[in-house]
Amino acid sequence: MAEPSTTLGDTGDWAPVDFERHGRELLASLREHFEHVRDVPVARPYDPAGLMARLDTAAPERGEDFSRILADTWDQVVPDLVQWNHPAFHGYFSTCASFPGVLAETMTAALNVNAMLWKTSPSASALELVVLRWLADMAGYPADADAVLVGGASLATLYALGAARDAAYPHDVREHGLAGPDAAVPRIYTSDQAHSSVDKAAITLGVGLRNVVRIPADSGYRMRPDLLEAAIAEDVAAGRRPVAVVATVGTTSVAAADPLGPIADICRRHGVWLHVDAAYGGLFALSTALRPALEDVSVGDSLVVNPQKTLFVPLDATSLHCRRRGALANTYRLVPEYLTSAHPGGAADFMDLSPQLGRGFRALKLWWVIRAFGLDGLRSRLDHAVALAGELRGLAAAHPDWHCPVPSDYPLVCLRYQPSDGPRTDTPEGRAALDALNARIVAELNDAGEAFVSHSVIRDGYVIRISLANIHTTADDITRLWAALNRVAEKTR
């Protein structure tokens, strides 16, 4: 095997000159990738055994040349990735890493800052305060709320519900756990459309899945406040303890938004914490097209928004905001001797606001992306996605075989292929056949590699979900996607 051509110098690491040389190699290969990204399959059928047979080698005894490692990455790893950063990736809630964000990740890794305490990272902590205030302003949440960057919306909801649980009990839950002197059964309310992260939080917090009360949604997939009120009243009468309501702005299946005003009124009357999961919908408050129609998230005691979903910032970047000042620290602040620090006013120790101690410098990528595009640039990019979704809905509406079973303002388009000579929908067997047809369309489309979509099942059956969030997606991409959907659908029916 050839000796690595990289100079290792005295330190054992690459010499800085080789770091730059390899960095240029990497960037050149990424440039090539993105210049021809529309020729790259978004995904291909996967074969776990074949993939493992190719990748599962013994760890090399001796260091290898970077050019070889890079070439192997492109040849053996990248083709079996699903290309989430592809303009034709529309699965789940698609995420998008814009180029300034990608470079910020490189700088973050190079400096390798730990933003746990102000004193371990003064300007990382200061920038975190700044971008959190920017994000709060964008979403319409009080900018002076406590806030922290965390590793995903599921964790943000877990952390918020931890604080809500502690606030709901008069005894010190930190000290005694839930089995303390006031052992009333904790209850969390959320709609039947809410994300599974609420259930996971209930599992983790010891609340238990059976104490997550799923409130039915109305015909528009929005939580019904009257049923929420009734559920809370019933629990109070039975001696159970309402801990929190989790309302969603931008539900996972169809991007519906719960009616926050009436829900907040109920929470206020019953003294229950309202957590707003606006992971998907919250930052669309920036969009001129959507803002007027959006729910006011400022009524939440806590709020999560996910720039990694909507603001072209690479994974992971999520912000948790909490207007009950001190509540997060009340639950999560714990300072052993080796982490004590004395600092002047205005400083914040982010380790106090979540269970995480060591934490990276997530603020830099937000700072770079927001500065690189500006609020106006972000606004127009979000408006562009909303307009592309409108085009796709328009194409479907004009076609006799395609239906949009749920309206949405967001750039999440739910479609169903329902040819007039296809399966009937007035029998369970016909419904199942229609669902199966749409599932085959998703599988075939994704296997073909031209685009990637995902699915959900709503009240009247299976829907193809198309999320438009990539900064590089154009009107031509929508035309190509529409052609691919039709080609696959006609072949599959």
Ligand X SMILES: Cc1ncc(COP(=O)(O)O)c(C=O)c1O
| Segment (H or E) for 241 | strand 241-248
Subset of 43-62 contacting ligand X (CB under 6 A): none
C-beta of residue 487 within 8 angstroms of C-beta of residue 408? no
Binding flag, residue 467, ligand X (CB under 6 A): no
Kindly state whether residue 248 participates in binding ligand X, applying the rule CB under 6 A.
yes
Q: Which stretch binds ligand X (CB under 6 A): 146-154, 218-226, 228-236, 444-452?
A: 146-154
93 binds ligand X (CB under 6 A): yes
Q: Site for ligand X (CB under 6 A): which residue of 134, 189, 280, 410?
A: 280
Position among 148, 153, 471, 484 found at the interface with ligand X (CB under 6 A): 153
Instruction: Tell me if 159 contacts ligand X by CB under 6 A.
Output: no
Query: At closest approach, how far in Å is the CB of 221 from ligand X?
Result: 12
Question: What CA–CA distance (Å, rounded) separates 157 from 183?
Answer: 23
The two three-digit tokens of residue 98, written as one number = 């814009």
Are the C-beta atoms of 491 and 438 separated by less than 8 Å?
no
For ligand X, the binding residue among 120, 252, 287, 302 (CB under 6 A) is 252
Smallest gap from residue 367 Cβ to ligand X (A): 20
CB of 485 to ligand X, least distance (A): 22
Tell me: cis bond preceding 316? Omega within 30 of 0 counts.
yes
Matching residue, tokens 């790259």: 40
Q: Between 328 and 484, whose beta carbon lies closer to ligand X? A: 328
**Nearest Cα residue to 194 out of 240, 153, 226, 145:** 153
Return left, alpha or beta for 326; rule: phi > 0 is left, psi -120 to 50 is alpha, else beta.
left
Give me the residues paired with residue 147 across strands. 321
Closest CB to ligand X among 280 and 417?
280
Residue (of 227, 179, 190, 187) closest to 207 by Cα position = 187
Cβ proximity to ligand X, 195 vs 362, nearer residue: 195
φ/ψ of residue 208, rounded to 5: 90, 140
Residue 178 C-beta-side C-alpha neighbours within 13 Å:
18
In the complex with ligand X, the residue whose CB is nearer, 121 or 467, is 467
Stretch that binds ligand X, among 22-30, 55-63, 131-139, 276-284 (CB under 6 A): 276-284
User: Is the separation of the CB atoms in 280 and 256 below 8 Å?
Assistant: no
Size of the site for ligand X (CB under 6 A): 15
94 binds ligand X (CB under 6 A): no
Q: Taking CB under 6 A as the criterion, which residues in 196-235 touch ligand X?
A: 197
Interface residues toward ligand X, by CB under 6 A: 93, 152-154, 195, 197, 248, 250-252, 277, 279-280, 306, 318
